[in-house]
Amino acid sequence: MVDKPLTDPLIVCASEGKVLVEGPGIATTLGVECASNLSDDLLAASSDARLQQHAAIGQAPNSGPSESPNVDRQQNHH
């Protein structure tokens, strides 16, 4: 496991029926199925990591400053 996680965004593009991934210290080519599975795994793992971050600071998920207030839009159209 890497001690310091990557924070710079990776560049991902399709070329000749393959998926190319490039970034600092990373350059790889993935097949379509591999890339699709990786996408699903990354989304699931990032959701888990976000929940772990919230738990570590004692904050409930979706309770941070980026959460939008739940506003009934119809009330605003009177």
Confidence grade of residue 78 (pLDDT, cut at 50, 70, 90)? very low
Higher per-residue confidence, 66 vs 14: 14
Q: Is there a domain that residue 49 lies in?
A: yes
Q: Is there a domain that residue 68 lies in?
A: no
Each residue's pLDDT tens digit, 25-62: 899 999 999 999 999 999 999 999 999 999 999 877 66
Q: Domain residues for 42?
A: 32-58
Closest CA to 19 of 30, 10, 3, 11: 30
- pLDDT greater than 70 at residue 17: yes
The total number of structural domains in the chain stands at: 1
- Rounded Cα distance between 44 and 65, Å, is 23
- Rounded Cα distance between 75 and 66, Å, is 23
Give the predicted TM-score (pTM) of the model: 0.64
